[in-house]
Each structure stands twice: as structure tokens, then as C-alpha cells.
């Protein structure tokens, strides 16, 4: 049976649709503030809509939202300006607004590191509180920029913002390395696998020595557990 999704053809957003989406982001932000959240992180990485506008690989528009780098940045710029205005409207100056981005795309015509470094500088100018880098390994070096310097160091040099890193931070030594490179650390899989992981790391115990919880103990299927 053919996959019905394979028959779908992407449709270019109209200008009105773009502004409606920005309204929807702002409404979601209002709900988060009303619910008592301390902040939100805009997911502009991993092929989500903000990244699609940024990438010339995905963005083939011929209007003010496509073509030049400035035009491809326009959606993100308008979005962050609207969200900052929404925060100010409700007078919650302690509310945190972060932005997650993929530093580069590996496909031909994809987003290059030099472009996302410029994006980071724009986000800083717009008043973003922190940047979150979506990396497969927190120490990874660029593929689209001729250097062996880790990506996180390049972002630290480009902006004066707290940087969050994640990716393969799964033992005490890597955690220490990550803390030396960035202000914020994202931990996912180790904490899913063992909610007490950080406590054990801080106490000098190693979860590699049989201390990690089993799949049944954390309530996930073995097939899920194997990829954690």
C-alpha cells in the first residue's frame, strides 16, 4: 500500500499565513506565561519551520522571505520581535526566551555555519536570553567551515550570550568538559535512563557499573531502552 504522505506536495505559505503562524507563536507564549512557565525555547533546529525559512535548501521563495540571507532571516526576526513584544506587554521581565538552532546542514545547498553564526548575532541584537545548539556531539567540529575548532567555541566567540550544548554528555568527564565550554548543559538520554544519574555522577559513582536502572524500572520498552 502506498504511503499517502508521499503524495503530498509542499505548498508555499502565503504572506497572510506567515503572519498567522507568528500570531500562533505569540498566543502559545501567552499560554505558557499564564501557566506559570519561567520561559520558553523556540525550536529553530532540526528542520522545523524557522530553519526551513533560513535554509536556501528548503526556502525557494522569491519574495521578501526568500533569496538573500537578510530575507531568509526575516521570518525569525519578525517572530522574535513579536515574542519580545508579547513578553513586554505582560510586564514579565524575568521570563526567559531561548532559541534552539542547528549550526549547519550537511546537504548540498544547506545552511552553512557562517550563516548561523550571523543568525546568532542577529538573535543577540533582538534580545534573546540564550542559544541552544542542536549537536550530535557537544565537541563536534564544523563540516561547512574550514576549522577544527569545536562549534560551541565558535559561537562563544561570535556572541556574548549563554550557550547551551548537548550531545553525548554521558559521563563525569564529558560533563566537566561541557561545563568548561558553555554556560548551560542539556542532558537527555542519561536522565531518561536513570533519573538519579546526576546525583550518582556528583557522588563519584559511575552508572556504567551496573547502577543504571533497567528498562522495566524506568517504565520503557526494551527496544526504546536500547537507543538511550
> Within 13 A of 221's CA, how many CA atoms are on the CB side?
2
Cα–Cα distance for residue pair 32/2, rounded to 1 Å = 40
Residue 1 is predicted with a pLDDT of: 57
pLDDT surpasses 70 at 133: yes
Mean pLDDT of 197-209: 77
pLDDT digits (tens, 9 = 90+) for 9-65: 888 999 999 999 999 999 999 999 999 999 999 999 999 999 999 999 999 999 999
Measure the CA–CA gap between 103 and 228, rounded to whole angstroms.
24
With a cut of 70, say whether residue 197 has pLDDT above it.
yes
Check pLDDT > 70 for residue 206: no
Q: Which carries the bigger pLDDT value, residue 1 or residue 11?
A: 11
The three cell numbers locating residue 140: 563536534
Please, which pLDDT band fits residue 217 given cuts at 50, 70 and 90? confident
Distance CA(55)–CA(73), nearest Å, equals 9
What confidence tier does 138 reach under pLDDT thresholds 50, 70, 90? very high
220 vs 132, 213, 217, 224, CA distance in Å?
A: 27, 11, 8, 6
For residue 103, the 8-state DSSP code is S
What pLDDT, on a 0 to 100 scale, did the predictor assign at position 212? 66
Tens digits of residue pLDDT in 58-98: 999 999 999 999 999 999 999 999 999 999 998 788 999 99
Distance of alpha carbon 97 from alpha carbon 88, whole angstroms: 12
Note the pTM of the prediction, 2 decimals.
Answer: 0.90
Amino acid at each position: 500500500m502506498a504511503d499517502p504522505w508521499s503524495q503530498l506536495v509542499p505548498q508555499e505559505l502565503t504572506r497572510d499565513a506567515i503572519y498567522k503562524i507568528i500570531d500562533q507563536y505569540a498566543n502559545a507564549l501567552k499560554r505558557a506565561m499564564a501557566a506559570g512557565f519561567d520561559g520558553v525555547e523556540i525550536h529553530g533546529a532540526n528542520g522545523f519551520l524557522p530553519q526551513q525559512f533560513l535554509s536556501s535548501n528548503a526556502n525557494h521563495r522569491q519574495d521578501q522571505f526568500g533569496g538573500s540571507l537578510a530575507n531568509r532571516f526575516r521570518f525569525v526576526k519578525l517572530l522574535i520581535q513579536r515574542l519580545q513584544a508579547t513578553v513586554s506587554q505582560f510586564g514579565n521581565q524575568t521570563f526567559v526566551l531561548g532559541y534552539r538552532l542547528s549550526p549547519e546542514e550537511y546537504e548540498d545547498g544547506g545552511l552553512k555555519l557562517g550563516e548561523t553564526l550571523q543568525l546568532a548575532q542577529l538573535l543577540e541584537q533582538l534580545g534573546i536570553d540564550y542559544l541552544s545548539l542542536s549537536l550530535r556531539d557537544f565537541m563536534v567540529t564544523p563540516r561547512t567551515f574550514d576549522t577544527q575548532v569545536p562549534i560551541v567555541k565558535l559561537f562563544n566567540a561570535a556572541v556574548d550570550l549563554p550557550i547551551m550544548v548537548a550531545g553525548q554528555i554521558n559521563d563525569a568527564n564529558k560533563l566537566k568538559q561541557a561545563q568548561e565550554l558553555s554556560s548551560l548543559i542539556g542532558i537527555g538520554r542519561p536522565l531518561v535512563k536513570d533519573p538519579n544519574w546526576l546525583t550518582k555522577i556528583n557522588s563519584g559513582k559511575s552508572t556504567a557499573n551496573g547502577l543504571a536502572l533497567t528498562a522495566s524500572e524506568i517504565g520503557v520498552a526494551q527496544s526504546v531502552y536500547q537507543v538511550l
